[in-house]
Amino acid sequence: MKQVAIGPEQKPASAVVQGCMRISEMTESAVEKLIDTDLENGITYFDHADCYSQGACEALFGKVLAAHPGLRDKIKLQTKCGIVHGDDYTIYNFSKEHLLETVNASLKRLQTDHLDYLLLHRPDALMEPEEVAEAFDKLYDEGKVLHFGVSNQNPYQMELLKKTVRQPLEINQLQFSIMATGMVDEGINVNTTFDGAAVRDGGILDYCRLNNVTIQAWSPFQYGFFKGVFLDNPKFPELNKKIDEIAAKYGVSNNAIAVAWILRHPAEMQIILGTTNPKRVTASAKGADITLTRNEWYEIYLAAGNKIL
């Protein structure tokens, strides 16, 4: 499994991350099997959020950790907080009180005394950086959180946080896939009037590279905003033909090529797998060991409907 180096300490981590958003309906034994499959494939990084099934995903994962005492030391555990779901509304909350309360609740559900990484989950329009800094300091000083990051934030939002937060922001979790390439498009189409030239995220890709922030790509097999998967989708015949052609060359699945395409970018990203199917996990993980050629990367990019001058 390819490793990436995260943060100023260059902590090694698996390039593929197991996303745990969909585990709440699984049995404890099924989660154990999923984790075993991850470890067998070199996946040692697990991503949660306190809002996933209202904490049920963390609680189930915690039961598995408790049943296998040595497991916690073999993995990196990450969760996110800040999204608050009501019966008919969603808000964001980065207040000191909320951050401390939710992290302590996550630790209890996960049955661990610390998180390796904590991410702020989407931007809070009412964020007060001073409160975030106070919460981070307390969590860090108490040993409850070792490293910090954000999710879906642009450069200025991160800079605003950095004005008062003393811990490095080491990660930014962002949507990126073969069919969600806005971060790349704006660079390829710079100085044109093409649609792809629109800067919608403040140049976050280059910002992260300049500041040694690891991008974690979520929804690697999705197109649009949760519209569905593009692999084996008849809506995208040219793209799937090209992916299948390259998959056959390397003797892997189309999932592996979708993973390899993301990891081929020199930003040294991680990729978050949403699947909980052990066979798909194994098939996808193979993509971390494939380095696509420059031509193959661009052929896939063009087959997805993108244009290059």
Please identify every residue annotated as catalytic.
Answer: 52
CA distance 52 to 55: 6
The residues pairing with 77 across neighbouring beta strands, listed in sequence order, are 46
| Neighbouring residues of 234: CB distance < 8 A, sequence distance ≥ 6 | none
> What torsion do the CA atoms of 198, 196, 265, 275 make, to the nearest 10 degrees?
90
SS3 146: strand
**Which residue type sits at 84?**
V
* Six-digit token string for 266: 């020199």
Query: Looking up tokens 């290059």, which residue turns up?
Result: 308
Q: What is the CA radius of gyration of the chain?
A: 19
CA distance 7 to 170: 5
Query: Looking up tokens 């989708």, which residue turns up?
Result: 233
Burial (0-12, 13-18, 19+ Cβ within 10 Å), 210: exposed
CA distance 273 to 282: 11
The residues pairing with 121 across neighbouring beta strands, listed in sequence order, are 151
| Neighbouring residues of 296: CB distance < 8 A, sequence distance ≥ 6 | 246
Q: What are phi and psi of 99, to 5 degrees?
A: -60, -45
Q: Do the strands 270-273 and 16-19 form a parallel or antiparallel pair, or are they unpaired?
A: parallel
CA distance 45 to 116: 10
